[in-house]
Chain A
Amino acid sequence: MDRNQVHRQVALMRQSFFDQGFLDEQFIQLEELQDEANPNFVEEVVTLYYRDSTRLILNIEQALEKSPLDFNKLDCHMHQFKGSSSSIGAKKVKSECTQFREYCKAGNGEGCMRTFQQLKKEYAILKKKLETYFQMARQAGPKEIACRPKPKLDICPDLEKNYVGWIPSRFRYTFSF
């Protein structure tokens, strides 16, 4: 496969993640933080997430083995895991986290366990997809970064390419995690 074809494949794969609801716009925020100074940022964050989240999953698994279930503790663990998953844009995983927390509020242990199994499936599916994606992106080479327009921060609309003449009283940051 020639390089152009690989680039096309990578772009199609990436688009499918959004179309099929695996990832949300938070992933785009990660991509916007990737630049020449930080060329592997997206892969680094995702790798860190999968490495760190194993302990969060273990915490939840251990908590689910207790009897009776401590729904407050379960909810607290899931809150952490949801926050982490949200930060990489893991849409389906995040949705399962929300469902899990609903079951915690309702004191529904069965629901929690069922949802947790589904969550782990989604988590694993996304991991596999992203591993394949990053592998292909590396094969495709640096064209991916060069093609992307220079990222802009989502702040005051008056702000152009530089920061001269910016007015603090109208300053608004939106950081979404």
Chain B
Amino acid sequence: MNRDQFPVGMRVLAVDDDPTCLLLLETLLRRCQYHVTTTNQAVKALDLLRENKNMFDLVISDVHMPDMDGFKLLEHVGLEMDLPVIMLSANGNPKLVIKGITMELAIIY
């Protein structure tokens, strides 16, 4: 991918257990002309990523999910796939931000 150009067609995996937030995220990402795959379960996300490591360029995930904590997902993705991850949270707790940063990723909240 040419680094000087906007990443049109970037393949994003979006994970959020809340269907409203997931639909909103998906639509925003499509508006950016990304290829978006969505799932509401972290476990399914990991399966998708393990199935084909080259299927995605970026993972965007919610932090608070019932089947797996977002940070746990991040750990797996970091160790197994070496993909960039963006964590989303409505939680402004600074401890959470520091936890994310020490795991070397960007947090948007």
Contacts and interface: CB of A to CB of B under 8 A. Distances in A.
Nearest to A167: B4
Interface in B1-60: 3-6, 8, 18-21, 23-25, 27-28, 31-32
Contacts of A168: 3-4
B108 A175 contact: yes
Interface string A45-73: 10011001100000000000000000000
Nearest to B89: A83
A45 B90 contact: no
Given A82-B90, A167-B4, A168-B4, A153 B31 contact: yes
Contacts, number: 59
Given A33-B28, A41-B27, A87 B6 contact: no
Given A80-B18, A80-B64, A177 B24 contact: yes
Interface residues of A, number: 28
A38 interface: yes
Contacts of A38: 27
A88 interface: yes
B91 A79 contact: yes
A16 B70 CA distance: 38
Interface in A156-177: 163-164, 166-168, 173, 175, 177
Contacts of B91: 79
B4 A84 contact: no
B88 interface: yes
A177 B21 contact: yes
A83 B21 contact: yes
Interface of A: 30, 33, 38, 41, 44-45, 48-49, 52-53, 76, 79-80, 82-84, 86-88, 153, 163-164, 166-168, 173, 175, 177
Interface of B: 3-6, 8, 18-21, 23-25, 27-28, 31-32, 64, 88, 90-91, 108
Given A33-B27, A163-B6, A177-B25, 11 more contacts: A41-B27, A83-B21, A86-B90, A87-B21, A88-B20, A168-B3, A173-B108, A175-B88, A177-B21, A177-B24, A177-B90
24 contacts: A30-B24, A33-B24, A33-B31, A38-B27, A41-B27, A45-B24, A48-B19, A48-B20, A49-B20, A52-B18, A76-B64, A80-B18, A84-B18, A84-B20, A86-B90, A87-B24, A153-B31, A163-B5, A163-B6, A168-B3, A168-B4, A175-B25, A175-B88, A177-B24
